[in-house]
């Protein structure tokens, strides 16, 4: 039995624990995710809503469209969840908010039609990488 997966926001006010296995790990390039996070794309995983426990504070909610609710930390602003009412039993969580994001294997890029040209993975692979700051 492996330890339950845990994660949380930047400031630590919002914490969560998963009792189920993450699935559907995707890099989402849609405009809404980009605007909501300030990042060129957001990597999400899904989990069954009943297998998610909030510890500490619950995320604040913002309706980015009538059917979509996005959760974030009210204190530090971390992007945390995405819930679509057409899929009420599942919730998406930002992969990078996990304490151990390495356990995930992203499966695909979604909303590629809205991707930023320089957020192309081949472009990224061709660029030099720096472990920390550069310049
Ligand atoms: Zn926070
Ligand atoms: Zn998206």
For residue 1, is pLDDT > 70?
no
For 48-69, what is each residue's pLDDT tens digit?
Answer: 999 999 999 999 999 999 999 9
Q: What is the DSSP string of 16-44?
A: EEESS--EEEEEE--HHHHHHHTSS-EEE
pTM check: above 0.85: yes
Query: Ligand 2 mean position to 78 CA, how many Å?
Result: 15
CATH topology of domain 24-118: 2.170.150
What local confidence, expressed as pLDDT, does residue 124 receive? 67
Under 8 Å between Cβ of 109 and 120: no
Look at residue 4 in the predicted model and tell me its pLDDT.
84
Whether pLDDT at 3 is above 80: no
Higher pLDDT residue, 4 or 71? 71
Q: Quick one: pLDDT band at residue 133, thresholds 50, 70, 90?
A: confident
Place of tokens 């619950």: 58
> Which residues fall inside 5 Å of ion ligand 2, going by CB?
28, 30, 33
Centre of ligand 1 from the C-alpha of residue 70, in Å: 15
> Alpha carbon of 12 to those of 16, 94, 96: distances in Å?
10, 15, 14
- Which is nearest to 47 in space by CA: 76, 1, 6? 6
DSSP string over 89-124: TEEEEEGGGBS-GGG----EEE-GGG--GGG-HHHH
Percent of the chain with pLDDT over 70: 97
Q: What is the DSSP letter of 58?
A: P
Where along the chain do its domains lie?
Answer: 24-118
Confidence of residue 2 (pLDDT cuts 50, 70, 90): low
């Amino acid at each position: 039995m492996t330890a339950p997966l845990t994660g949380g926001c930047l400031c630590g006010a919002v914490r969560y624990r998963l009792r189920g296995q993450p699935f559907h790990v995707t890099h989402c390039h849609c405009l809404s995710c980009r605007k909501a996070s300030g990042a060129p794309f957001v990597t999400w995983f899904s989990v069954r809503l009943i297998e998610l426990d909030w510890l500490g504070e619950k995320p604040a909610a913002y309706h980015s469209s009538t059917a979509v609710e996005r959760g974030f930390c009210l204190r530090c602003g971390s992007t945390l969840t995405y819930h679509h009412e057409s899929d009420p039993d599942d919730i998406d969580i930002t992969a990078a908010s996990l304490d151990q994001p390495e356990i995930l294997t992203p499966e695909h890029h979604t909303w590629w039609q809205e991707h930023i040209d320089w957020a192309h993975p081949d472009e990224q692979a061709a660029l030099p990488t720096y472990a920390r700051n550069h310049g």
